[in-house]
Amino acid sequence: MYDHQKELEEIINRLEKNSFKGKNILVTGGAGFIGSWICEVLLEMNANSVVSLDNLSSGRWENISHLEKNPNFKFIKHDISIPIYFGKIIPNKICYPSIDERFDIVMHLASRASPFEFEKFPISILKSNTLGTMNALGCSKDHNAKFFYASTSETYGNPPADKVPTPESYFGNVNTIGPRSCYDESKRAGEAFAKAYELQHNIDVRFVRIFNTYGPRIRAGEELGRALPNFIEQCLNDDPITVFGDGSQTRCFTYVVDEVEGILKDTLIPEARGIPINLGHNKVTTILELAELTKRLTNSNSEIIYQKMPKDDPIRRQPILTRAKKILKWEPTTDLETGLKKTIEWYKMQNV
Measure the CA–CA gap between 35 and 53, rounded to whole angstroms. 10
Q: Which of 145, 152, 143, 135 is nearest to 191 (CA)?
A: 152
Q: Sheet of 49-54: strands edge to edge?
A: 73-77, 49-54, 24-28, 105-108, 146-152, 205-210, 276-279
Binding of ligand NAD by 213 (CB under 6 A): yes
Binding of ligand NAD by 56 (CB under 6 A): yes
Asked whether 270 and 335 are in contact (CB, 8 A), the reply is: no
Stretch that binds ligand UDP, among 104-112, 202-210, 224-232, 330-338 (CB under 6 A): 224-232
Binding to ligand UDP (CB under 6 A) within 307-326 occurs at: 310, 313
Instruction: Kindly tell me which residue out of 11, 45, 110, 287 binds ligand NAD, with binding defined by CB under 6 A.
Output: 110
Instruction: Kindly tell me which residue out of 24, 111, 230, 298 binds ligand UDP, with binding defined by CB under 6 A.
Output: 230
Q: Which of ligand UDP, ligand NAD, none is residue 310 near (CB under 5 to 8 Å by kind)?
A: ligand UDP
Binding of ligand NAD by 109 (CB under 6 A): yes
Exposure class string for 311-326: b at 16+ Cβ within 10 A, else e: ebebebbbbbbebbee
Binding of ligand UDP by 294 (CB under 6 A): no
Please give the distance of CA 267 from its chain centroid, rounded to a whole number. Answer: 14
The distance of closest approach from Cβ of residue 81 to ligand NAD in the complex, given in angstroms and rounded to an integer, is 5
Asked whether 264 and 41 are in contact (CB, 8 A), the reply is: yes
If the CB atoms of residues 55 and 300 are measured against ligand NAD, the closer one turns out to be 55
- C-alpha distance from residue 71 to each of 23, 40, 75, 100, 245 (Å): 14, 13, 11, 15, 49
DSSP label at residue 168:
T
Tell me the CA end-to-end span of the chain in Å, nearest whole number.
13
Give the x/- contact pattern for ligand UDP in 170-209, rule: CB under 6 A.
Answer: ----------------------------------------
Binding to ligand NAD (CB under 6 A) within 9-48 occurs at: 28-29, 31-35
Q: Which of ligand NAD, ligand UDP, none is residue 34 near (CB under 5 to 8 Å by kind)?
A: ligand NAD
Q: Which of ligand NAD, ligand UDP, none is residue 249 near (CB under 5 to 8 Å by kind)?
A: ligand UDP
Please tell me which residue in 183, 197, 214, 347 is annotated as part of the active site. 183
Binding of ligand UDP by 242 (CB under 6 A): yes
Length of the chain as a residue count? 352
Instruction: Kindly tell me which residue out of 24, 49, 58, 278 binds ligand NAD, with binding defined by CB under 6 A.
Output: 58
Stretch that binds ligand UDP, among 38-46, 103-111, 220-228, 338-346 (CB under 6 A): 220-228
Binding to ligand NAD (CB under 6 A) within 75-94 occurs at: 79-81
Count of CB atoms situated within 10 Å of the CB of 208 = 28
The residues that bridge with 165 in the sheet, in sequence order, are none
Q: Does residue 183 carry a catalytic annotation? A: yes
Angle between helices 33-44 and 256-268 (to 10 degrees): 60
Binding of ligand NAD by 219 (CB under 6 A): yes
Instruction: Kindly tell me which residue out of 25, 84, 107, 112 binds ligand NAD, with binding defined by CB under 6 A.
Output: 112
Count of CB atoms situated within 10 Å of the CB of 179 = 15
Exposure class string for 92-108: b at 16+ Cβ within 10 A, else e: eeebbeebebebbbbbb
Asked whether 56 and 77 are in contact (CB, 8 A), the reply is: yes
Asked whether 281 and 331 are in contact (CB, 8 A), the reply is: no
Q: Point out which residues bind ligand NAD (CB under 6 A).
A: 28-29, 31-35, 54-59, 79-81, 109-113, 128, 132, 150, 152, 210, 212-213, 219
Q: Point out which residues bind ligand UDP (CB under 6 A).
A: 115, 212, 226-228, 230, 242-244, 249, 251, 287, 310, 313
